[in-house]
Amino acid sequence: MKPRALAHGDTLGLIAPSGGVQEPGRVERAAERLGELGFRVKQGPGCGASWGYLAGKDSIRAADLNAFFADPEVDGIVCLKGGYGTPRILDHLDYASIGRNPKVFVGYSDVTGLHLALGKTCGLVTFHGPMPSSDMLPEFDEFSRASWRAALMTTGPLGMLVNPEARRLERIVGGTARGPVAGGNLSLVAATMGTPYEIDARGRILFFEDVDEAPYRVDRMLTQLRLAGKFEQCAGVLLGTWKDCVPREGRPSLSLAQVFEEVIAPAGKPVAFGLQAGHGAPALTFPLGVEAVLDADAGTLEFVESATR
């Protein structure tokens, strides 16, 4: 299920499906930044709501997403920020309506819960990329902005995804893998295991990134996926940014590289590290759910299927 590519002047629905924004005026500044990119913006009521660590109660956050997918005036949906909260609304979404109204949907981090659910339930192609409050304020760097616009506004295959300064991916296990890209934030992929929204790894290139997780926690989550057979089922594995994923001071630890080598590599599938996507800047934007080719030896990732219509 592919959405229509965005065009200048389209209307974007801005939603807050996860955490709330505490700083006064930040939602408005985020909307203005989207306007500077050439879009009209319609804010969901949940953007200004707050319920503890959430941007409003579950009913409000789910209603915003359902309403914007059903709204004929809205051409695409952008998540304001991550935080925590998407798993709480996955069983509150109107997937039948969403399936009838495919639209560009973009975000990352906690939004991974929605990527997984929309992909598995509706077959909707979604986009892993920067969000206004998290990544576009106070400024949106030129590399990230160009990648964001290209991914959401290109009608043909996105082609080769090139890191800043053309840095190649690092090989962990050699070989070439082809398949749809799936995944996102490792914590959310692990959190949905055993639910109807659990990641389908069969024949897919699995992408993972995370933030503020010590290596032993990354180990625990990847081991959960290993025990579930995900690395045996997948075509390959692509590893993104791991911002502040460092050992606690004074504690013995394996390195992330050792964790990847010991937990993922034994499955023998191509594995590459270093895609500049996820937490941190600059960051790439790319589609989830369409075919790509990962060449771990050459250190490249190429999208060979269009993500939009």
- Give catalytic residue positions: 109, 209, 279
Cα–Cα distance, 100 to 263 (Å, whole number): 40
CB-side exposure of 156: number of CA atoms within 13 Å? 3
Neighbouring-strand partners of residue 51: 54
Which of 257-269 are b and which e, b meaning 16 or more Cβ less than 10 Å from the residue's Cβ? eebbeebbeebeb
Backbone angles phi, psi at 125, to 5 degrees: -75, 125
Question: DSSP code of 71?
Answer: -
* E-state strands within the chain: 11-15, 40-43, 76-79, 104-107, 126-128, 159-160, 170-173, 176-185, 205-211, 236-243, 271-273, 286-288, 291-295, 300-303
| Helix, strand and coil percent figures for the chain, each rounded to 5 | 35, 20, 45
Cα–Cα distance, 11 to 130 (Å, whole number): 18
Structural tokens at position 267? 């499955």
